[in-house]
Amino acid sequence: MSERGKVDGQTKLVGIIGYPLRYTLSPVFQNAAFYHLKLNWCYLPLVTENKYLEKAVYGVRALSFVGVNITMPYKQKVIPLLDEVSADCEAIEAVNTIHLKDGRLIGYNTDGAGFLALLKEQANSDVKDKKVMLIGAGGAARAVAAAVAKAGVSEIYVVNRTFKKAVSLCEVLKEKCSFKAQPVDLRDGLTSFVGNADIIINATSVGMKGERLPLPYEKIGEGHLVCDLIYAPSKTPLLEEAEKREAKVLNGLGMLIYQGALSFKIWTGEEAPVDVMFSAAKKALAEPSQA
């Protein structure tokens, strides 16, 4: 918003469609960015029950929104409702950003690129030729796996509690990214995988409530970069263990901000003020209601 709280007939609208959307930070940091750049734009939470998803996406067009983000649980389900999707979305079968351009709804996925930006900007790390141990095989893991595969990593070990989902993610990587990854059961001895990996990524929800992943933590050391896609709490038990052992650690706040910054650029055509977005998100996370 060009002026805090001011909305008028010229205001351009964007938002986020999801359910139940209770803890989304996107309106906070996107509106902070609009305010900072004096753009007369407004980002709204659009809480949408499953039965109304089709109507809500129709509403993007009907109400002349510039675009929307799509979050859980609709990243896959929204695809048939769009006119076109980018190659990234096809690989991972998920859309997190829609842009209404010349009357057409175009789907993008900025999650994977957001993750790569996090590594580059906050750890000065290029993934090329690195070995990656990716824990998880859900939506976030798919986006990260496709992004790191395309960015030239040498190996990916996909570790998951439900082994068949690890296998299925490896099949997607082979088919869509021509990358041969190795599926691993989370209950297997993971010692050699942790020892071999340069980058360890937690893309499961384990750690949000302080739970520990069953990993051989003693094998983590100062040569590792350990990333957790979780950002609340800011330090999961995995990151605490890794930091204790002098590994470099990153939480998921950067991925959230960078994927949002990429959506911002798709909609507005302008570079997002990421520092402003970070400050707004951190301030909101420090408020007791976000805990």
Binding site for ligand NAP (CB under 6 A): 72, 111, 136-141, 160-162, 165, 186, 203-206, 208, 229-231, 252, 255-256, 259
Nearer to ligand NAP by Cβ, of 1 and 229: the residue is: 229
d(CA 71, CA 169) in angstroms, rounded, equals 20
Dihedral sign from CA coordinates of 254, 259, 262, 267: negative
Beta carbon nearer to ligand NAP, 100 or 135: 135
**C-beta closer to ligand NAP: residue 7 or 47:** 47
Cα 174 to Cα 31, 50, 158, 180, 183, distances in angstroms: 39, 32, 13, 5, 12
Tokens 């690890």: give the residue. 166
- Interatomic CA distance for residues 256 and 231, integer angstroms: 9
Assign 248 to helix, strand or coil. strand
Q: Which is nearer to ligand NAP, 125 or 204 (CB)?
A: 204
- Which residues have a catalytic role annotated? 75
